[in-house]
Amino acid sequence: MNDFKVGIRHMDTVTVFDLKGYLDAHTAPDLEQAFLSAIDGRKYNLVVNFRDLAYISSAGLGVLMQFIEDVRKNEGDIKLSNMSPRVFNVFDLLGFPMLYEIYAEERDALEKFRNNVTHPPYQKPDTGE
């Protein structure tokens, strides 16, 4: 059993992904597809609700990394909410709270979007290239 499900809800201008089960290298492509469908529909205000997620490996965090640049270029954001201590620990170990807003409750993330408090657009560092 390696169950993972992504539910998609539209809350005003925000798309919420409800994750359930086990997110690893086998199931990460399902999350990738969900993000792609939102972005193809030009939805850039995204919240990922982790309430029913039991497990995450770096493959799941990799999906968030894959889309954050594109989403912020379009003046959106990926905000995260409702993580169990176990799931939060994985994000924390890798320093993800530096890059992502993580909220205890989904409504706080939605409120941020509602108040139009957007993350500054992502800017590439000047590497002289």
Report the alpha-carbon distance of residue 94 to residue 102 in Å, rounded. 14
Give alpha helix (H) positions in 24-125. 28-40, 58-73, 85-93, 106-114
Instruction: Work out how close the CB of 9 gets to another protein at its nearest, in angstroms, rounded to a whole number.
Output: 25
Report the alpha-carbon distance of residue 63 to residue 17 in Å, rounded. 13
Query: Is 2 among the residues that bind another protein (CB under 8 A)?
Result: yes
Site string for another protein, 21-60 (x = CB under 8 A): -x-xxx----------------------------x-xxx-
Site string for another protein, 53-92 (x = CB under 8 A): --x-xxx-xxx-xx-xx----------------x--xx--
**In which order are the strands placed within the sheet that holds 45-56?**
4-11, 14-23, 45-56, 77-81, 102-103
Q: Which residues bind another protein (CB under 8 A)?
A: 1-2, 22, 24-26, 55, 57-59, 61-63, 65-66, 68-69, 86, 89-90, 93-95, 98-99, 122, 124-125
